Amino acid sequence: MELRQLEHFLAVVDEGSFTRAAARLFMVQSSLSASLLGLERELGTDLFIRGRRGAELTDAGRALLEPAKGALAEADRARDAVAQVKGLVRGSVRIAAVAMPRKVDVGETIRLFQAEHPGVEVHVAPVSARDMIDLVTEGQVDFAITPRIDGTSPTLRYQTLVSTPLVLVCPAGHRLAGAQSVDAAEVVDECLIDLPRGWRARELFDRLLEEQGVDRRVGVEINDWLAVLTMVQRGTGISYGPQACVDAEMFTGIGMATIAGAPLWELGVMCRDEALRGAAGRAFLAAYLERCGETSAD
Domain boundary among 62, 88, 114: 88
- Would residue 118 count as lying in a domain? no
pLDDT digits (tens, 9 = 90+) for 176-235: 999 999 998 888 888 899 988 888 899 999 999 999 888 887 778 998 888 999 999 999
Per-residue confidence (pLDDT) for residue 124, from 0 to 100: 87
The answer to whether residue 97 is domain-embedded is no
pLDDT 10s digits, 106-155: 999 999 998 888 878 888 887 766 677 878 877 778 889 989 877 666 77
Q: Domain count for the chain, please give it.
A: 2
Note whether 241 and 164 are within 8 A (CB).
no
Same domain? For 170 and 257 the reply is yes
The answer, yes or no, to whether residue 262 has pLDDT greater than 90, is yes
**Residue 269 pLDDT grade (very low, low, confident, very high; cuts 50, 70, 90):** very high
Average pLDDT over residues 266-295: 80
Answer yes or no: is pLDDT of 12 > 50.
yes
Domain range enclosing 244: 163-266
Percent with pLDDT over 90 in the chain: 34
229 inside domain = yes
Position 295 scores a pLDDT of: 63
CATH of the domain at 217: 3.40.190.290
Q: Find the CATH number of the domain harbouring 16.
A: 1.10.10.10
pLDDT of 23-82, one tens digit each?
A: 878 788 888 889 999 999 999 999 988 877 678 889 998 999 899 988 888 887 777 666
Over residues 160-180, mean pLDDT: 93
- Residue 281: per-residue pLDDT: 83
Q: Is residue 212 part of a domain?
A: yes
